[in-house]
Structure 1
Amino acid sequence: MPELPEVETIRRTLAVHIKDLKINDVKLIWPTAVCGWQDKAFAELVIGRRIIELDRRGKYLLIRLDEELTLIAHMRMTGRLNYYADHREPEKHTHVVLQLERGEVHFSDVRKFGRIQAIPTPLCVRESSLSKLGPEPLEAEFTPEVLKDRLIKKKVTFKAALLDQHVLAGLGNIYADESLFLAGISPQRRADTLSEEESVKLHAAIKTVLQAGVDAQGTSFRDYRDANGEKGWFEQDLQVYGRGGEPCKVCGQTLERLRLAGRTTVYCPQCQK
């Protein structure tokens, strides 16, 4: 699933191509992939609008159109947004094509979980999934105190708490595992046991890991690609995620794998006691 670094990379690589362009037409191959607003269909809302900005909130990509309309794109497990300078025939799993005055954007999704929702910009936060998101971990407002306040109320494991988008926006399985390893915190511990010192370490670890992921343009194992179809290279820097049974790069202890919050979790029993 694209997490914060992947969605941020998609935002950056897509903005280069489509900012200031008008949407001339919309081709809906699988109409369920989009949502209109009230009684207006998706295509009716977006055709003729100009793309003025691309933003991000957690794992959501926000395509701002003129006349105060926003497209909220959530890639879910396998969604992709790719730009093509020339006309391209839709591939097998392409569900939506935005035909621009120069080039096309294709939304594809093997698992069919992803969606693009059109919503008036003034209502974007209040009346969509964005309304329940926690703080942005790469913003200045995200401090160790904010992190501790969010976690100390959670009577679940650290892994479950970090995956909860209401606690903190943008982290998923990859960056939660990596952040906990860097902070030296066991994913099995309860989040409400976080100390002041640990909140400082975990705060720094989250920001460091996410920024490194952004700098590496994300992690590509299977489906993730940026808007140009390119892979990210953060996989080569992973300390624990996906490495269960292998030796820890720090201490040499065998990394253990377990199931937490419904997700596979990898950690070092020595470095994360």
Structure 2
Amino acid sequence: MPELPEIYNLAMQMNKELQGKTIADIDIVQEKCLNVNSGEFKELLTGQSIGETQSRGKWIFTAAGKDTTLLLNLGMGGDVLYHKPGSETEGKYKLKFKYTDGTALSINFWWFGYVHIVKNNEIKSHKMTSTLGISPVEPEFTSDYFKKLLTGKKCSLKTLLLDQKTIAGIGNVYAQDILFTARLHPERKVHQLSDDETERLYKAIVDNLHFAAAHGGLKFEKDLYGNSGGIESFLVGYKEGQPCPVCKTSIEKIKTGSTASYICPNCQRQE
């Protein structure tokens, strides 16, 4: 499942390749990924010029015309691929945008995903994105801002990281090494953190996500051009039974709510 680093890179690439293009036609294979029917979707977008593309958490926002925005979420996984003029669209896709210059953008979902068209004056009421929290790649995500986010919270650290209403973009994949880097147990409570631990967690979030984005994200995810990411392995994530990279203690897999977590029981003690 793509998380912040992969979505951030896709949005940057889409902004570079698509801005200024005009939509000539849209091939819709799976209507259920839309928030309106196929006819209305095409009517609203055909002939519109593409503006800026940005990401927030696991969502991509693309300006389409003066009054509407395209919202894209890949759900549990998928591919967003850019096609040059004359190139064939390889593999299956659920949606394909064709532009007047002969280029195209195909979108495929492995399981489920969303492509919504929303009027700009209604974005704040769009149920799936209106409550998104801050993205750790935003300049506003400072240490002081992070400390304020934690005020009054009594949930576990794992719950905090996965709560898209608080911090948008982190999923179960990146949460593993973020907590390990901070040397914090996933079931520690937020209100129990010392100032030093809070700063370590903040730094671990920023450093891990920026590092992953700079290296193209995970190897099993693809960018806009079909290239795989450069992150091939984790520090402790999904390495049950293997030695901790710091102290060599065997990595354990534990149950944390509805998710599994991978920890070093020595480096991440539950105090």
- TM-score of the superposed pair, with normalisation by structure 1: 0.91
Query: Corresponding residue for 2:161?
Result: 162
Q: In structure 2, what residue type is equivalent to 1:255? A: I
Please, what is the CA RMSD of the aligned residues? Answer: 1.9
Change in Cα spacing, 1:54 to 1:132, as seen in structure 2 (3 Å) is same
Query: Corresponding residue for 1:129?
Result: 128
| Unmatched segments (≥5 aa) in structure 2 | none
Q: How far does residue 158 in structure 1 lie from its aligned partner after superposition?
A: 0.9
CA distance in 2, matches of 1:125, 1:261: 31
How many pairs are equivalent?
267
Query: Corresponding residue for 2:17?
Result: 17
- State whether structure 2 residue 220 is matched by structure 1 residue 232: no
Change in Cα spacing, 1:265 to 1:15, as seen in structure 2 (3 Å) is same
Q: How far does residue 54 in structure 1 lie from its aligned partner after superposition?
A: 0.7
Q: How far does residue 25 in structure 1 lie from its aligned partner after superposition?
A: 0.4
- State whether structure 2 residue 196 is matched by structure 1 residue 182: no
Change in Cα spacing, 1:90 to 1:20, as seen in structure 2 (3 Å) is same
Q: Deviations over 1:179-238 (max 9, x none)?
A: 1111111112122212222111111110000100110111133xx2111111111224x2
Kept after mapping to 1: 8 A contact 2:78/2:108: yes
Kept after mapping to 1: 8 A contact 2:83/2:89: no
Q: How far does residue 87 in structure 1 lie from its aligned partner after superposition?
A: 4.7
- State whether structure 2 residue 267 is matched by structure 1 residue 271: yes
Q: In structure 2, what residue type is equivalent to 1:225? A: K
CA distance in 1, matches of 2:99, 2:227: 21
Change in Cα spacing, 1:44 to 1:87, as seen in structure 2 (3 Å) is farther
CA distance in 1, matches of 2:18, 2:142: 34
CA distance in 2, matches of 1:166, 1:28: 31
SS at match of 1:132: coil
Kept after mapping to 2: 8 A contact 1:83/1:103: yes
CA distance in 2, matches of 1:120, 1:40: 16
Query: Corresponding residue for 2:26?
Result: 26
SS at match of 1:162: helix
Query: Corresponding residue for 1:171?
Result: 170
Kept after mapping to 2: 8 A contact 1:71/1:117: yes
Comparing 57-66 and 137-146, the one that deviates more: 137-146
| Unmatched segments (≥5 aa) in structure 1 | none
- TM-score of the superposed pair, with normalisation by structure 2: 0.92
CA distance in 1, matches of 2:89, 2:227: 19
Kept after mapping to 2: 8 A contact 1:148/1:194: no
Pairing of 1:2-13 with structure 2 (within 5 A): 2-13=2-13
Q: How far does residue 152 in structure 1 lie from its aligned partner after superposition?
A: 4.4
CA distance in 2, matches of 1:12, 1:145: 27
Change in Cα spacing, 1:163 to 1:216, as seen in structure 2 (3 Å) is same
Question: Which runs of at least 4 in structure 1 moved beyond 6 Å after TM superposition?
Answer: none
Kept after mapping to 2: 8 A contact 1:153/1:192: yes
Q: Deviations over 1:44-70 (max 9, x none)?
A: 111111111111111101111122211
Query: Corresponding residue for 2:219?
Result: 220
